[in-house]
Amino acid sequence: MAKPTKETIPTLLVKNIPREIVMGIEEALSVGSQRAYTAARGMDDGHLSSVVGQLRHFHMNESFQRALAVGDASPSPLRGNQIVTGRAGVFTLARFNIKEGIWINGRRSQTRRQMSMANAAIEQLVQPELFADYMPPSEAVAFFVACFAGSLHIQPESPVSIQIAVPDRHMQGWLFRESINAFIKRYDQKPVTMQDDLAMPKLKKNIGKQDKDGTSQ
């Protein structure tokens, strides 16, 4: 039988990705989105959504790359439509944008699907194998996902939410997905340690004995 592990996807993320990098990326993606919307102002409504989408890609890639550089996360260079990646601990970090609720769009990139193959090693933290022990991974992938409203009439200048997401190896499902606002709180959580209860209850002497008159002492 496989030995159980206390490791989880969230604890693995917290252990490898410093809080400062997560917070820096959250701010950077918001700033990049705002710059993209500002740059698109004045464009014809007929292709405004397409223009905003393209500008989001370039501006958010730039801001993401800078945040990785500030966090010493070894960012890849900016090259056209290529995915920008960084490194923190065992995790390769990347990003993409989606319309809120349409997570399947993340699979459109063949590069992202290839990157996700590294997560085979941590799938066991969600679906343990009966006869295989968990081995700490040397490689894994996490994405920062900016979720936008489906219409430019609703909050067009910034994401509705920014989430950190860890896909399965085929990028067909998510081993872990959580908003950055909720995830940041995990850094303040102290690990729970189990302590043996060494207290030994003692009964009072003579308890339950009765006097001759039948009253208890």
Under 8 Å between Cβ of 56 and 217:
no
Confidence of residue 6 (pLDDT cuts 50, 70, 90): confident
Cβ neighbors of 121 (< 8 A, separation 6 or more) are 135, 137, 138, 139, 140
Segment 199-215 mean pLDDT: 48
pLDDT band at 2 (very low <50, low <70, confident <90, very high): low
pTM score above 0.85: no
Closest CA to 137 of 45, 12, 14: 12
pLDDT digits (tens, 9 = 90+) for 84-104: 999 999 999 999 999 988 787
* pLDDT on residue 177: 96
pLDDT in tens, 155-184: 889 999 999 999 999 999 999 999 999 999
Q: What percent of the chain has pLDDT over 90?
A: 65
CA dihedral 13, 16, 19, 25 (to 10 degrees): -80
**What pLDDT score does 106 carry?**
79
Q: What are phi and psi of 199, to 5 degrees?
A: -70, 135
Amino acid type, 115: M
